[in-house]
Amino acid sequence: MQSVLQNTEATEQFGAELFQSLPSKCLVFLHGELGAGKTTLVRGYLRAAGYTGTVKSPTYNLVEEYTVVGKLIYHFDLYRLNDPEELEWIGINDYFTQDCACFIEWPDRGKGFLPTPDNVITLTVIEAGRLVEMNA
């Protein structure tokens, strides 16, 4: 699936549509350069779930945890990961055994320590906005 998202609102709307279509337990890899809209997409998912607080990129924390109506949602950002082995130290596999949705930005930095995703979403900056490609 491929489409063009013309602005931030469209990117958030795409995230909201994901909330409606993805199962409650899923692993989603998010690819895209800095500023491509990965966190904006997750914000749209969280808003659709009913979360009203601030949604920020977990670049410095590595992971942000959200609980919305009893549902767990984890948002990872591996951009600052120095070595994929660091994921073992934070107990990354414990996250994936839970009934939760996990979104991982920069998943290539965790290569060899991450399971196969349920969906891969790539956001590419283009002149008309963002090209989004999704592969299940």
Flag whether 19 is in a domain. Answer: no
Number of domains within the chain: 1
Q: Among 124, 110, 126, which Cα is nearest to 37's?
A: 124
Ramachandran angles phi, psi of 70, nearest 5°: 75, 0
Q: How far is CA 116 from CA 22, 84, 96, in A?
A: 16, 15, 11
Give residue 136's pLDDT.
80
- What is the structure's pLDDT at 19? 95
pLDDT score of 56: 85
Task: Return d(Cα 125, Cα 114) in angstroms, integer.
Answer: 26
Domain membership of residue 1 (yes or no) is: no
- On whether residue 74 sits in a domain, the answer given is yes
The CATH number linked to 90 is: 3.40.50.300
Q: Is residue 99 part of a domain?
A: yes
Specify if 87 maps to a domain. yes
Within a domain: 91: yes
Give the domain range for residue 120. 25-127
The mean pLDDT values, 10 residues at a time, for the chain of 136 residues are 92 96 96 94 97 87 91 95 90 93 96 95 93 91
- pLDDT of res. 39: 95
The answer to the question of residue 133 being in a domain is: no
Structure pTM? 0.93
d(CA 117, CA 115): 6
Three-state secondary structure readout of the chain: CEEEECCHHHHHHHHHHHHHHCCCCEEEEEECCCCCCHHHHHHHHHHHHCCCCCCCCCCCCCEEEEEECCEEEEEEECCCCCCCCHHHHCCHHHHHCCCEEEEEECHHHHCCCCCCCCEEEEEEEECCEEEEEEEC
On whether residue 134 sits in a domain, the answer given is: no
